[in-house]
Copies of this chain bind each other. A is one copy, B any other.
């Protein structure tokens, strides 16, 4: 089942956040939701957690995805310069 169907409130109503830190947390949320969209079986994800959470290369790869999503959110918020 796709993440966030119509009958629930949207999980991603906007890219706008008040602060860079909230933008960072939204980037983490987007990355996690993205995994759940590709692998909707939460039990499988729970089983996989120990593997990647204890593997430096997996952790680095995950932070890379967060960095890419954070770029998108930072641009959306004009880098919180206003």
A76 → chain B, closest Cβ, in Å?
Answer: 4
What is the CA–CA distance of A30 and B14 in the complex, to the nearest angstrom?
21
- Please, how many residues of chain A have a CB less than 8 angstroms from a CB on the other chain? 55
How does the 8 Å CB contact mask read for A61-82 relative to B, with 1 for contact and 0 for none? Answer: 1111111111110111001110
> Inside 8 A of A70's CB, which chain B residues have their CB?
30, 69, 72
Q: In the bound complex, do residue B30 and residue A24 qualify as a contact, i.e. CB atoms below 8 Å apart? A: yes
Contact of A62 among B2, B38, B75 (CB under 8 A): B38
Q: Which of A38, A41, A51, A74 has the most CB of B within 10 A?
A: A38
- Interface readout for A1-35 with B: 1 if CB under 8 Å, 0 if not? 01110000011111110011100110010110111
